[in-house]
Amino acid sequence: MIIGKKEFDTQKHTYIMGILNVTPDSFSDGGRFQNLDAALAHAEEMVADGADILDVGGESTRPGHVQITDEEETLRVVPVIEKLKQEFDIPVSIDTYKSSVAEAALQAGADLVNDIWGLKYDDRMASLIAKHDATCCLMHNRNEAIYQDFLADFMDDMRGCIRIAKEAGIKDEKIILDPGVGFGKNYEMNLEIIREVGRMQELGYPILLGTSRKSVIGLTLDLPSDQREEGTLATTVYGMMNGCSFVRVHDVKANRRAIDMMEAILREHTVASI
């Protein structure tokens, strides 16, 4: 898979998407990187720590979030994306489900559209991505956590996202799938979809796992959002072992080290006999 100018070997390696929220109200780091200089400094830190992609978000999508206008979201993300493309040789993702924001971000240099509604919110999104020949990450989501058969319905929902992408002309090699931990699911469903994330390989596309600091970790360990690093690391390693090609995280350095260690263990080794 090629994202921007970079090639990603999604069969043999797990890559890190570093989270860069330029919002005042994100659940974990809201307000910390609203200022352009602060955002760039954090991006520089994440790149140095081993991020492979930077994911820029201008609207919080935490539970109970307040939707902002397309114009406000665009004003938040476009200057940051432009600067990132000037300063760093790394693919940049725009975290949005709105086609007008995505279009402005792509024109500013974004390489990937990370859509939390998997192309199902905005009818223009799929054709826009196809027009720009951009990569997309399609996340599973529902308005309510109501299912007849959770895993079967989940897989059907994901196939629906893929169908929309294909009908719009998005190429297979431009599609990543995200199980949507924390979206349209209750606590038990979130744990279940993490446990069964390997089943998504049946769909034939690279998988991105996004669990960083999320409520499923907080509820399991009874910890606030700023103390969920170890729980996130456990999900990163589990995702690696179950075929995930990408992880989307806040704490890049720790996750990079966990991935490097696990990949070293999983490699075949030649052990000399005496």
Write out the catalytic residue numbers: 214, 248
d(CA 114, CA 96): 6
Half-sphere exposure of 34 (CA within 13 A, CB side): 11
Among 252, 229, 266, which residue's Cα sits nearest to residue 12?
266
Distances (CA, A) of 69 to 3, 8, 24, 143: 28, 34, 14, 20
d(CA 217, CA 225): 9
d(CA 24, CA 151): 35
Kindly report the backbone phi and psi dihedral angles of residue 239, in degrees, each rounded to the nearest multiple of 5, phi listed first.
-60, -45
Amino acid at 138: L
Among 45, 48, 47, 54, which residue's Cα sits nearest to residue 17?
54
d(CA 268, CA 133): 37
Strands (E), 174-217: 175-178, 208-209
Question: Could you tell me which residues are beta bridge partners of residue 249?
Answer: 18
